[in-house]
Amino acid sequence: MDYRDHHVVVTGGTGALGSAVIAALLEQGAICHVPTIDKREVERFPHRSHDRVRLVEISTLADEGEVARFHATVPHLWASIHIAGGFAMAPLAETTKAALMAQLEMNLVSCFLCCAAAVRAMKGGGGRIVNVSARPALEPRLGAGMAAYTVSKAGVAALTEALAQEVAADGILVNAVAPSILDTPANRQAMPKADHALWPKVEEVAATILFLASPENKVTRGAIVPVYGRS
C-alpha cells in the first residue's frame, strides 16, 4: 500500500490502536495529522517527534468550530480515520442523561463532525474515510450493561452506511471496522483473567484499517468489517 505524499487524519491517534495505525501509515510513507486533547497521552506517544507527524492541540472533537479549524490545517486530505471515542459501563437504570450524552458526543458526534469535515475537504478529489464502531453495534445483546456505549457505536455504524451511499459518486469510499475487545495493556489490566490470546491485536486491526483507507481499496464501501480475532 503506497501512501507516499498522502495526507491522512487520525483522530485518537495517540491511543493504543491509533499509535498502531500511525506506525503502519508512517511505514508506508503517509503524512499523519493528529488532533490531540490529552497531554499525558501525547507524552507517551512514540511517534510524536517523527518528521511526518503533525500534532495539533484541540479541546474537543465534538465542536464544529474546533473540527473545522483542525481540518483547515490539513492540505490535500486523502484519508480520515476516526478512532477517537470513549467507553462506559453502567446498567440502563443507573445511566443518567448526562452519561448518555457524553457517550454520544465522544463516539457519534465526534465521528459525524469529522466525517462532514473530511467530505468537504475531499470533494472533487476523492478519498477514504474509515470509522471505528464496535462489536456490540453489530451484536446488540453484547451491549447489556453498556447500553449508552452500544447505542453510540450503533450510530457510527449507521452513519457509515448512509454516508457511504451519499458520497460514492464523489469517489469517497466510506467504511468502518467493528472491533471486539482489543489486546491492550489497559484491557489486560481491567480483565486479568480473560484469555488475552483470543483478543485481536492492535496491529492486526490497524492492517485492516490501512487497507480500507488506502488507494488500493477501489471498490469496498459501506462495510462494517468485524475485526474480532478469535474472540
CA gap 23, 165 in Å, rounded:
30
Residue 144: give the domain boundaries.
7-227
Which position among 3, 70, 112, 149 bears the catalytic label?
A: 149
**Any idea what the CATH number is for the domain that residue 150 is in?**
3.40.50.720
pLDDT along the chain (231 residues), means of 10: 96 97 98 95 95 97 97 96 96 98 98 98 96 98 98 98 98 98 93 94 98 98 96 88
Residue 65 lies in a domain: yes
CA gap 86, 185 in Å, rounded:
16
Spatial contact of 211 and 223, defined as CB atoms under 8 Å apart:
no
Give me the number of domains the chain comprises: 1
The string of pLDDT tens digits covering residues 7-63 is 999 999 999 999 999 999 999 999 999 999 989 999 999 999 999 999 999 999 999
The predicted structure's pLDDT at residue 89: 95
CA gap 180, 129 in Å, rounded:
20
Hey, is 173 helix, strand or coil? strand
Query: What is the DSSP pairing of strand 31-36 with strand 7-11?
Result: parallel
Give the closest residue to 24 by CA, choosing from 71, 83, 73: 83
Residue 1 lies in a domain: no
CA gap 20, 32 in Å, rounded:
12
Residue 2 lies in a domain: no
- The C-alpha cell that represents 194 in the structure block: 480473560
- Quick check: is 3 catalytic? no
Tell me how far CA of residue 189 lies from CA of 60, 71, 84, 192, in angstroms.
Answer: 27, 35, 21, 5
Residue 14 lies in a domain: yes
Residue 213 lies in a domain: yes
